[in-house]
Chain A
Amino acid sequence: MALSPDPAGGDLSPDAPGGLDSAVQLGERLVENLGRVLLGAPAALEAAAMAALSGGHLLIEDVPGVGKTVLARALARSLGTELARIQGQPDLLPSDVTGVSVFSADEGTWEFRPGPVFAHVILVDELNRTPPRTQSALLETMEEQQVTVDGESWPLPNPHLVVATQNPHSQLGTYPLVDSQLDRFALCTTVGYPDAETEARLVRHHGGKFALHELEPVSDIPGWLAAQRATETVEVAPAVARYAVELARATRHAAGVRVGASPRASIWLIRTAQAHAVLASRGYVVPDDVKAVAPACLAHRLGAGDGTGLAVVRELLATTPSPRP
């Protein structure tokens, strides 16, 4: 794409350090690719792309059948890898996620058999149906990108992206996600029902699984990694950083909030805002980026699954003074 849409000179020249140009291209093509599969949900596509670019994990909350899994699979395929899938269920064990050491009778040694978590993109479907101990197995993998089994640590492939889904409406037989688990997700998004026309196209074999098979990767793993590194170099002005921190701090005193946003939330607010800037072909973060990602980045950390978190974030966005000019 031509990278001089901005008369102000805030363009991203292709020789920019870290290949910001390639990150922008990747982001753009990623959104386009996902859009072929998941119709009529631009917010979810954007969230998925931002998660891919920033390296943050993505939580998708929605009712069954709107395309959560399809989105995750499309993401994996677009990024040139295959999706590892973990289906949440009450009798899922931690070792089913991380892998186990088995005794090799041939060689007479214990051999580590990696679990499904050893993949670039993993989908944890119905995360809240797994018991807490299995959920906690994911804690280490999500934050430290490693698995420790029998006292031995095994690094996970890099980049590593966890896409989890949960159904917030049917709470029967679920284990609500603990705060520490929720806090590890950079973004939380919903897919939502498509409108009638889109749905009509869907049933006429456009999009969805039908498109998934035809999907071409837009990148390979090294390209993805480079894009992530480039996204980290997006300029964040001190005023914007201050604004993000102000927002996060404001949640800690807001009415109706049990636990405010952690410093990790502030970090991810900025990193996802950087990704948002890349999606907008910009080499710098503006306050609007922060505002755009704040609901997805902060809301799930505040409330207990109900809508209070979102309401609080919206309220804070409307009251916190934005940086001038």
Chain B
Amino acid sequence: MPRPQRPLIPVSSALTLSAAWFLVAHEGGSGWVQLLGDVVWGALLVGLLGGALAGARAKVTLEAAPGDAVAGSPVVVEVRASTRLRITPLEPAGTAAFVGRRHGEPDEITLVPVRRGVHQTLTAELASAAPFGMLWWRRRVRLPMPGELVVAPRLGEARPVDPVTESGAGQLPTAVPADVGEPRGVRDYQPGDHRRFVHWPATAHRGDIAVKEMETPAAEPAVVRAELPAEPDAAEREAERALGSVVAFLAAGRSVTLVTLEAAGARLGPVPDRRTAGRRLARAVSGSLGAGVGSPSSSSSLAPSAERGSVDGRVGIVVDGDGAPSAPSDGRHARVRGGGLMVRLRRANRPGPAEDSIALRVACAGSVLVAISAVHAEGEISSALALVAGALLVGGMVLSYRTRRRPQMWVKAVLAGAAVVAFAWFFHQLSGQQAYDIATVENPLAQLFVAVQVIHSFDVPARRDLTFSLAGSAVLLAVAAAQATTLGFGLFALAWMGLSFTGLCYMWASAAGGGPPAPRAVAGALGALVLPAVALLLVLPAPTVGGHIVFPVAGGSGGSLSFPFSLAGDRGSPSEPARAGSPADPIRVGGFTGFASRLNTALRGSLGKTVVMRVRAQRPSYWVGETFDTWNGVSWLANNNVPTILGSASPFTIPSNIAPTGTAPDGGAQASAGQSDLQTFYVVQSTPNLVFHADDVRQVWFPTHEIFVRANADAVISPIGLGSGAIYTVRSDVSAPDPAELRAAGVLAPATGLSTGQAERDVALPHAYPRAAALAAQVTAGDDNTYDKVELLIDWLGTHTTYTTDIPPLAPGADTVNAFLFGDRRGFCEQISTALAVMLRSEGIPAREAVGYVPGPYNPITDLYEVQARDAHAWVQVWFPGYGWQSFDPTAVVPDANPSPGATLLRGTGHLLGTVPSIVAGSVLVLGILGWLTFGAWRRRPAGPAEAVARRMERAGGRAGRRRAASETLSEYAAALETLERAPPGTWREAARTVEAAAYGDRGSSGAARAALERWRAPRRRRRPYRWRQPARVGEAGRPGPRRR
């Protein structure tokens, strides 16, 4: 299995990043952050583990290699790799190279053997960081050589005597035997031999002419004894000298006999040339030759030297073993580890190798540019800053590219200065703020990030620096995503994902020796990345806002107001006070006429689906705009008291004296100590200058220096117009007593806790409602509890009225409540809630009308409630002693006038789906997929060893380009493979016979068959021997190759 190379840094950074990312997403409630985080996490997973998979699956074969090599000289070997890899030859040593660049075509690697020797295999280290170049995984393999590689020793000196001058001959042996010396034997006739030397008895015996061969002084072989010491380096020197001597003798025209000790024993034989001598010496092992070895028949002619490494003493040449061998200088192990802090610092800051890939730089610069644009689009940096930053970034990238080979020290100094300035500016921005919460820090932080990115872009000579750029762009985009409120952010997200994915692919392509990324690898990486990302998306719960972060506020496009105390007009003019206008005229807030100083229930607004605002809140709630106290029979009127001015700076705290919460029945604190939560409102359409809020408003973060609060805190009024882009945050107390608590409070006098004037206003009716009062009394007959009365009346409305917005206009002079309750009982929220309020008042219960919005559809990606114009709503607030005003919505129980069955069904289904937690659904889905895959694999499993071997044979044959036909029996297939030239030779037929015996024979399941099957391995594919250097071996009935790892 591959092992990772220095995994600590990438893995720990990935884990830290993921954790931080998750935290940010779930505190800020941004689905966009989480989505980006899922993708980044998927990329990290693929990037960190991809190398292991690629390394483990890589198939590397040596295709062709020469049979001979010399120590210290490079040898080129052809390698075929199934994927991109860095291959470092270790034994024999060589230079690291990237292979598999062109799919299926062989690459060349260079071996530089350090020592002589015979190599059947090449031990090499495979390394891969596919597909993104994040983490290198290494694996050591032994690759069989196509043939033996025999490494001859270097050519050493034959010291101390120069054999050429010593022998004095200088002439080459001739083909004609000299007629001197003793006859040594006979040999074949060669043209030019004199007939005198024909050996007639041998000729008669053989039938071919044989001539006598004579011993001549020139033909006397010089005997070189190579007796190698045990120490490898010394042995190497000795072999080099022996080769030097042999070569010197050969150059002098002498025939040479070399005596070596091989693993099988001493070997003595003539060496006609340097190559043969090299091959002999390559096989030589260290050890003593013994005195007799190396002395052929005429022992007198060869006095074996006692000294090791001696050469034939007769000619007086002695190759002695002195001369201290120099230790091999192996540069690969020269890297120094450890060292002092400064050394380590300097090493860490050493610029990496210059990165030449333009595509990689463009992708990285593009990612950063997209991130800057996104930050700008979310309003965190100004247009000017975005433009300048973009221009500088491009310039910096170009400059970095041009100076990548000679980084300028002064540039670094300038950049360091610029970074210091940026940080100083950041802290200066902060020092102007009163509270260091996220709301005040976030935008300066985004600006600082942009500045750092721009500064960094001037110094990105190496790939590592570009990685930082890419990671920085991810962080910058996350900063933008945290503020994103629309799905339009998806465009930035997609563009960034595309660019950074391209960048990552080029990272690996560039790390693996340049060139474009392989399309198949890119597709694989994309698939592998999308899978965990989607799985995470399904499994992780959607983030919801944590309530610990106050988001930044903004003024938006609204202008200043002429009458800042009152509500701005509906016609779009800030100078005109708001009143319930006529629906025929253009109405500002999506058609609802209620956000004004009066709510005219005679008017029929038409409400559209326009998104009015988006709300980020921890829980859905009614967004209260204002409330009305006074009912005149047709309209609800707001109280016209001059609002209280809150003049401190944001956040504005609503003083408790104008925000009655009611006191507990025992006079203590509020009975239901409400927890408070935060809501952030993002205004999309121009709205009235009402500050919406949930429940009881306590604190407002608002981009002005003052704000107005109506008495009773039923309405918070903005001094500026709230146009699109305005953002404000409200902290509200949640007062959600349960029915039991309310029922307990309901036994008290209804108006307990209200001031006298207020209580009078909240039960006042413009005229007597005898029929409505009688109806209310009848419905609530026999019940004294306020809460029960409210519930009974709501139930009655639910069963006796129907909801429709399509009702005729109110007749002039008619009373809304009477017309509704005693007419056709059809109406919408205004009629229904007013009827409830009037009936409650007739029972002496303080009730008032509230207008605002229902929560609106929830968008899980942005974690925002998208409030549409048609979500405008009116409902009733009832006073409960000790609990304050409690909202009741009678409209919720009123059935639709003509509901469509599909709508009802859909609502039910949606509700049901909402109750299933996404984590459970996701887990079930993932488990289902895994189970399905496992079941598939289980179904395709081989039935036994016989079938397993058959499959292995089919796979091996398929790799050789010969697939098994459906009608083919295994024996036929094996026979076809054996005749196939491209297929590796092997024991195909025998294996097929064994498999068939096991599958069809009655005794096939015996231990012998099983053992035979388990021994069988698909033979490795071997190419035909390398050119002419190696004779084709006949009858090499493929031994089973070593197991593929």
> Which chain A residues have a beta carbon within 8 Å of chain B's beta carbons?
6-10, 235, 237, 239-240, 282-288, 291, 317-325
Contact = CB atoms under 8 A, between A and B. Distances in A.
B993 to A, nearest CB: 6
B329 interface: no
A121 to B, nearest CB: 32
B226 interface: no
Nearest to B1006: A9
B978 interface: no
Nearest to A287: B969
Contacts of B950: 324-325
Among B949, B966, B967, chain A packs the most CB atoms within 10 A around the CB of B967
B1003 A286 contact: no
Interface in B971-1009: 971-972, 990, 993-1004, 1006-1009
A322 B1001 contact: no
A283 B1002 contact: yes
Contact of A325 (B966, B967, B990, B995): B995
B248 to A, nearest CB: 55
B947 interface: yes
B1000 A7 contact: no
Given A9-B1008, A288-B972, A325-B995, A283 B966 contact: no
B967 A322 contact: yes
A181 B290 CA distance: 86
B1001 A8 contact: yes
B994 to A, nearest CB: 4
B970 interface: yes
B1001 A284 contact: yes
A210 to B, nearest CB: 37
B315 interface: no
Contacts of A8: 993-994, 997-998, 1001, 1004, 1006, 1008-1009, 1012-1013
B967 A321 contact: yes
A6 B993 CA distance: 8
A291 B970 CA distance: 12
B968 to A, nearest CB: 6
Contacts of B1013: 8
B946 interface: yes
A7 B994 contact: yes
Given A235-B1002, A325-B947, A10 B969 contact: no
A318 B951 CA distance: 21
B947 A240 contact: no
B966 A239 contact: no
28 contacts: A6-B994, A7-B1012, A8-B993, A8-B997, A8-B998, A8-B1004, A8-B1008, A8-B1009, A9-B997, A9-B1003, A9-B1006, A10-B997, A235-B1002, A282-B997, A284-B997, A284-B1000, A284-B1001, A284-B1004, A285-B1000, A287-B1000, A288-B972, A291-B972, A319-B967, A321-B967, A322-B969, A324-B947, A325-B970, A325-B999
Contacts of B998: 8
B135 to A, nearest CB: 41
Contacts of A282: 997, 1001
Interface string B685-718: 0000000000000000000000000000000000
Contacts of A324: 947, 950
Nearest to A13: B1003
A321 B964 CA distance: 11
Contact of B967 (A9, A237, A320): A320
Contact of A288 (B971, B990, B994, B1001): B971
Contacts of B1003: 9-10, 283
A240 B966 CA distance: 15
B969 A288 contact: yes
Nearest to A12: B1003
Given A7-B990, A8-B1009, A10-B1003, A322 B997 contact: no
Nearest to A243: B969
Contact of B946 (A9, A317, A320, A325): A325
A291 B1000 contact: no
Among B947, B995, B996, B998, chain A packs the most CB atoms within 10 A around the CB of B996
B1004 A10 contact: yes
Nearest to A7: B1012
Contacts of A284: 997, 1000-1002, 1004
Contacts of A9: 997, 1001, 1003-1004, 1006-1009
Contacts of A323: 969
Contacts of A320: 967
Given A237-B1000, A239-B1000, 16 more contacts: A8-B993, A8-B998, A8-B1004, A8-B1008, A8-B1013, A9-B997, A9-B1003, A9-B1009, A10-B1004, A284-B997, A284-B1001, A286-B969, A319-B967, A323-B969, A325-B970, A325-B995
Interface in B777-806: none
A302 to B, nearest CB: 18
B974 to A, nearest CB: 10
Contacts of B995: 325
A322 B946 CA distance: 15
Nearest to A286: B996
A287 B1000 CA distance: 9
Contacts of A239: 999-1000
The 7 closest A-B pairs by CB, nearest first: A325-B950, A8-B997, A10-B997, A284-B1001, A9-B1008, A10-B1001, A8-B1009
Contacts of A6: 993-994, 997
Interface in B987-1045: 990, 993-1004, 1006-1009, 1012-1013
Contact of B1001 (A7, A235, A291, A318): A235
A288 B1000 CA distance: 11
Interface in B169-203: none
A240 B1000 contact: yes
A304 B441 CA distance: 98
Nearest to B945: A325
A240 B996 CA distance: 11
Contacts of B970: 325
A322 B1012 contact: no
A255 to B, nearest CB: 17
Contacts of B969: 286-288, 291, 322-323
B997 A318 contact: no
Nearest to A240: B1000
A22 to B, nearest CB: 18
B801 to A, nearest CB: 74
Contacts of A235: 1000-1002
B326 to A, nearest CB: 55
Contacts of B951: 325
Contacts of B967: 317-322
Contacts of B994: 6-8
A9 B971 CA distance: 17
A290 to B, nearest CB: 9
B989 to A, nearest CB: 11
A288 B464 CA distance: 62
Contacts of A322: 966-969
Interface string B489-513: 0000000000000000000000000
Among A235, A239, A282, A286, chain B packs the most CB atoms within 10 A around the CB of A286
A250 B932 CA distance: 36
A291 B973 CA distance: 14
A131 B971 CA distance: 45
A26 B946 CA distance: 31
Among A239, A287, A317, A319, chain B packs the most CB atoms within 10 A around the CB of A287
Given A317-B967, A325-B947, A325-B950, A283 B1001 contact: yes
A316 B1009 CA distance: 32
B67 to A, nearest CB: 34
A237 B999 contact: yes
A275 B363 CA distance: 73
Interface string B954-973: 00000000000011111110
A10 B966 contact: no
A316 B173 CA distance: 73
A8 B1003 CA distance: 9
